[in-house]
Amino acid sequence: MKRITLLTGIFLLVGGATASTQFLGGHALFHTWTAQNLEPGQLSVKWQSRFWSGSTSLGGVSNVTQAVALTFGFSPHVELEVTPILYQDINFNPDLVTYNAPDDVYFRMRFGGYRGRVMSNPIQWGLQASARTNSSRVSNVYLEPYSNVSNEVSLGGTVSWFANQLYPAEGPSAHANLTYLNHNDGGASSINIFSGSTNDLEFAFAYRYPTLHWELFGELYGNVFLTDPPDHAYTRADAIWLQPGFTWRFFQGMSLTAGLDLRVLESGPAVHYGAWPAGAYRQQYRPNDEFPAYYPPWRMSVKMAFTPSTTFRHSQTFSEVRLDSQKDWEMREKIGVTEREMIDWLGAEDQSAEFLDLELEKIRAERRQAEKELEKLKDKLKDDKGK
């Protein structure tokens, strides 16, 4: 069953279609992660929800999933992430009602921010390793990405292009992901990773266009099974999805993102409609043809992101960020370095990029220290005048 499609099928909505790349945190979109890592000591909190609802002659159907992604910048090139799925619920009738509270948990480690060049264009690249631990009451849920009672593992890579290499969030960017996912369902042992397990490749492409307070983006994502899922799996089809969306940054460090998943392609084994006979797999039957075989034609995803200050890092306000950016460029103009020259230097070699990062951070630290000294001097002069 080798069909080129994205398996993220959840008849319900969910905002991240594939099993290992859903509910991403940090700088990631809904289904695509980038090579840009959080800064050391930076914390990202993302509450995410995905949903779908429809009606049939047998009644209404709805599906809701919610999760929280907690991502921490461990070093300039490493970030750690834990994403518990807090709640998953399908509502139809006694035959299909299923809920988990909580559901499974994702653990991820990303290595990013590594620089290179492709056809003289500077790019960044990174790797991601993740594991999905089974902690749900019910696995293998209708309309959700395929999962078994075992623990899943995945390994992927990403390549990112940023129009603004110095301040990636201030310019357009493009990203491409490829991830190998092993469902580890080959036997009773939870560590039986390669023998007889279900495997698939997940892919994602994304483009982002930011402004000061808004960002428009589009994602094209999917997967292809390398080996067939078991016959008792609800989700056995591949699919390709297109998701347009936007992000509203209403405060520095806080944003609201929404995206609409549109199913482009679906391909999987034929399902049967009506009551399932004795001895047959229930997962291969649907009440009637009003119920999608695997995926709905659309689904909605929403997330709220928050970047709080931590003991290790202060989260800047909008005015602080813009002031830093302006002062940095004013300093570069004084020393006669143009933006193009700076970007060329940044992508020339890893050592120059590392040196530039250190120099910029040194400049910022020295300026902040000077501003603090100036404030202290102002306060002292005010006290002297008051005496």
Span 27-39, pLDDT tens digits:
999 999 999 999 8
> Does some domain include residue 22?
no
Q: What is the pLDDT of residue 126?
A: 95
Amino acid at 257: T
> Does some domain include residue 37?
no
Same domain for 339 and 207, yes or no, is no
261: Cβ contacts below 8 Å, ≥ 6 apart: 13, 15, 17, 241, 242, 243, 298, 299, 300, 301
Q: How far apart are CA 114 and CA 78, in angstroms?
A: 10
Cα three-residue angle 285-286-290, rounded to 5 degrees: 150
Q: Which of 273, 306, 339 is the last residue of a domain?
A: 306
Q: What is the pLDDT of residue 262?
A: 94
- Cross-strand partners of 176: 159, 205
Same domain for 285 and 369, yes or no, is no
Same domain for 47 and 111, yes or no, is yes
> Does some domain include residue 69?
yes
Same domain for 273 and 375, yes or no, is no
* Per-residue tens of pLDDT for the chain, all 387 residues: 433 333 233 222 233 344 557 889 999 999 999 999 998 999 999 999 999 888 888 878 888 888 999 999 999 999 999 999 888 777 776 555 577 778 888 899 999 989 888 887 889 999 999 988 887 777 777 777 777 777 888 999 999 999 888 788 888 999 999 999 888 876 654 445 556 688 889 999 999 999 878 999 999 999 888 888 887 777 788 889 999 999 998 877 789 999 999 999 988 888 877 777 777 777 777 788 878 888 888 999 999 998 887 777 766 655 565 555 566 666 656 665 555 566 565 555 444 555 556 566 666 677 777 777 788 787 778 777 766
The Cα-based distances of 178 to 68, 154, 155, 186, 223 in angstroms read 23, 11, 9, 23, 9
Q: What is the pLDDT of residue 194?
A: 56
Q: What is the pLDDT of residue 259?
A: 96
> Does some domain include residue 78?
yes
Same domain for 159 and 272, yes or no, is yes
Same domain for 204 and 164, yes or no, is yes
Same domain for 301 and 344, yes or no, is no
Number of domains in the chain: 2
Same domain for 382 and 340, yes or no, is yes
- Cross-strand partners of 243: 219
Q: Which of 271, 306, 341 is the last residue of a domain?
A: 306
Check: CB of residue 259 under 8 Å from CB of residue 22: no
> Does some domain include residue 27?
no
> Does some domain include residue 26?
no
Same domain for 174 and 218, yes or no, is yes
Q: What is the pLDDT of residue 219?
A: 97
CATH number at residue 295: 2.40.160.40
Same domain for 218 and 344, yes or no, is no
Q: Which of 306, 329, 346 is the last residue of a domain?
A: 306
Same domain for 299 and 322, yes or no, is no
DSSP reduced 3-state for 228: coil
> Does some domain include residue 36?
no
Q: How far apart are CA 49 and CA 168, in angstroms?
A: 26
Same domain for 149 and 295, yes or no, is yes
Instruction: Give residue 374's domain range.
Output: 318-386
Amino acid at 18: T
Q: How far apart are CA 312 and CA 326, in angstroms?
A: 25
> Does some domain include residue 32?
no
